[in-house]
Structure 1
Amino acid sequence: MKEELRLLVEDNTTKKGKLFDYIIQALILLSLIAFSIETLPNISIETIKYLDYFETFCVIIFSIEYLIRVYVAKKPFKYIFSFYGIIDLLAILPFYLKGTLDFRALRAFRVFRIFRALKLIRYNKALHRFHLAAKIVREEIVLFLIVTAIFVFLASAGIYYFENEAQPEVFASIFHSAWWAVVTLTTVGYGDVYPITAGGKIFTFCILIIGVGIVTIPAGLVATSLSKAREIEEKEKESME
């Protein structure tokens, strides 16, 4: 029975496995739609009641799925603390905390229901490929984030010393300058904060050039890792055949 349950929830090549995947995917999407409907203003009490019924039904199904996955896992604790295990838990946890949190805290915590969208990664091959690609390029991404954080700090400090005297209210400190650094390095450029001194403008030009590289580097890393992920999937298919 345990092996049959494992095939049901983990093997989507069988008819039962595909049906299980489709049902869970449909429930995830419908629950997200219901969650969005709840935010509509002037929603009727009757509609809220039906949405609560549907939410209860979804949580029951997701809870059963979670318990089955814990039961069939070769290493249950490894699954519980894995990416998918945490996402599965966050998808149902807000429902069970209704009686332990006050209303305001509950409303804040219910936002974790949006993590159900991440559950779709498990049931979609293309999304799963992105997850595999993230594993492949994980070290490079971590290094990139560290370097980006360093550049943000340097940009914040640099523009502060260039613009603080000319615009003391806008660039009041390095922390205040961080917003300018982020929108400039990402090449978004909202235009709400900008330099007016010659030195600040020259410094901004240099930061913009660096920002172009910061935007393009992740795209190259992801594209390379996705091609590697596809190769891995093809090799796995060939080995199974």
Structure 2
Amino acid sequence: MKTYLKDLVEINGTKKSRRFAYFIQFLIIFSVITFSIETLPDLKPQTRVVLKAIEAFSVIIFTFEYLARIYVADSKPKFVFSFFGIVDFLAILPFYLSFGIDLRSLRLLRMFRLFRLFKLVRYNKAMHHFANAMKLAKEQIILFMIITLMLIYFAAVGIYYFENEAQPEHFSSIFSSLWWSIVTLTTVGYGDVYPITVGGRIFTFFILMIGLGIVAIPTGIISSSLTKAVEPHDDEKEDKLK
């Protein structure tokens, strides 16, 4: 039984494994579509009943898949606390919580159903390469995020001292200046809050230049790591051809 389930739920190239993988992928996409349909206003009661039945069926299948993967895992704790283990768990969690909690009062829990989309990563080679690239670049990304947070705070402090007296309604404190700092460093520029003093505008110019670099740096880090993640697979293909 364990061998049969292992061949079924794990991606190993067999016919039944591929069929199960295609079925799960279809169910993921179908359940996400029905989740979107649920948000339509003025749905008929009969339609809501059908949507709930589809949701229940999907969760039953996802629960079976989750328990089967735990059962066949070589290290059960390792799978449970792995990325895919957590995603599988969060994908079914809202359904079971709905029996004891009114999800209308905790609407945020419904968003956990979107974790089903992350289940697709398991079945896509390109997404696997991206996940491996993120692992390779983990330290650089963490360092980049720390530096970015420091720059955001620095920008908020700087604009506060330049603009506080001129625009106390927008820059009343460093905390209120953080919105401007985030919008400016990410080069979004909503235009709802902007400097009017000469010093503030000069300061903003330098922050914008730094912001352009902030946008470009993670792209370079991820693309470099993605190249490293794909190269071993390319080498394996070449060896097979030889």
Matched residues, number: 241
Tell me if structure 2 keeps the 8 A contact 1:137–1:222: yes
Equivalent in the alignment of 1:199: 199
Superposition CA RMSD, Å: 1.6
Alignment of 1:1-241 (within 5 A): 1-235=1-235
Following superposition, the deviation at residue 184 of structure 1 comes to 0.6
Instruction: Flag as ranges the 4+ runs of structure 1 deviating above 6 A.
Output: 238-241
Residue identity (%): 58
Following superposition, the deviation at residue 91 of structure 1 comes to 0.3
Tell me if structure 2 keeps the 8 A contact 1:187–1:208: yes
Tell me if structure 2 keeps the 8 A contact 1:12–1:21: no
Counterpart code for 1:100: G
Tell me if structure 2 keeps the 8 A contact 1:97–1:106: no
Distance 1:228 1:16 in 2: 32
Residue 237 to residue 2, structure 1, CA distance change in 2 (3 Å)? farther
Distance 1:101 1:156 in 2: 40
Residue 7 to residue 232, structure 1, CA distance change in 2 (3 Å)? farther
Residue 68 to residue 215, structure 1, CA distance change in 2 (3 Å)? same
Give the TM-score of the pair, scaled to structure 1: 0.95
Distance 1:238 1:6 in 2: 30
Counterpart code for 1:108: L
Distance 1:168 1:218 in 2: 35
Distance 1:200 1:160 in 2: 9
Give the TM-score of the pair, scaled to structure 2: 0.95
Listed as ranges, the gaps of 5+ residues in structure 1 are: none
Following superposition, the deviation at residue 233 of structure 1 comes to 2.5
Tell me if structure 1 keeps the 8 A contact 2:163–2:200: yes
Following superposition, the deviation at residue 236 of structure 1 comes to 5.2
Following superposition, the deviation at residue 110 of structure 1 comes to 1.7
